């Protein structure tokens, strides 16, 4: 949104920098909020922070308000993505599920890498995905609860190359 910041953001960032796990940032895009204001909130939150993963915007209907105008959401999302990319010099990755991909992303964000969520089967979309979230019930040493499980669309060497380009 335009004002919300995870209350544990600073602590999580500090602790993650002490580990070997790459650090990244994402923003949950709110359909009923201005794209420019959301970009300003995101940029203010991450200013001065280092990341080894792409900046991500989460675009999905789940957890969001119902909207009638797909075009309005796409327009505000385009503003958000453009402002973040111009300010950071980094291309954003878009996280979404198949339904929201088809409604908001498809045909509108061709240059952005895609992180697709599909729990029951491999993603069935018309764009090559970069990351695939295939579960939200994983376990990871050091994590106090369940974690998301994701797969990179390539080899281990290609993953390293991908990270070096960021």
Cα(7)–Cα(4) distance, rounded to whole angstroms? 9
Helix ranges, 47-155 (H): 70-88, 98-100
Containing H/E element for 43? Answer: helix 35-46
User: For 38-55, what is each residue's pLDDT tens digit?
Assistant: 999 999 999 999 998 999
Beta carbons of 152 and 159 less than 8 angstroms apart: yes
Beta carbons of 77 and 33 less than 8 angstroms apart: no
Residue 78 has pLDDT above 90, yes or no: yes
Residue 5 has pLDDT above 90, yes or no: no
Q: What is the DSSP string of 53-70?
A: S-EEEE--STTS---S-H
Cα angle at 129 between 66 and 22, to 5 degrees?
95
For the segment 127-153, the average pLDDT, to the nearest whole number, is 92
CATH architecture for residues 9-165: Alpha-Beta Barrel (3.20)
**For position 145, what pLDDT does the model report?**
92
For the chain, give every domain's residue range. Answer: 9-165
Least confident of 8-12, 100-104, 157-161: 8-12
Say which DSSP state 91 is in: P
Residue 58 has pLDDT above 80, yes or no: yes
């Amino acid at each position: 949104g335009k004002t919300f910041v995870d209350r544990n953001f600073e602590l999580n960032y500090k602790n993650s920098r002490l580990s070997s796990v790459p650090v990244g940032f994402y923003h949950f895009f709110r359909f009923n909020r201005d794209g420019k204001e959301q970009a300003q909130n995101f940029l203010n939150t991450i200013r001065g922070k280092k990341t080894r993963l792409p900046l991500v915007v989460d675009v999905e209907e789940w957890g969001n308000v119902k909207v009638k105008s797909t075009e309005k959401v796409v327009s505000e999302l385009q503003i958000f993505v453009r402002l973040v990319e111009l300010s950071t010099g980094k291309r954003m990755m878009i996280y979404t599920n198949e339904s929201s991909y088809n409604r908001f992303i498809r045909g509108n964000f061709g240059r952005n890498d895609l992180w697709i969520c599909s729990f029951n089967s491999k993603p069935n979309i018309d764009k090559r995905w970069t990351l695939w979230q295939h579960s939200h019930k994983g376990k990871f040493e050091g994590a106090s609860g369940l974690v998301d499980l994701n797969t990179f669309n390539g080899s281990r060497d290609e993953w390293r190359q991908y990270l070096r380009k960021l």
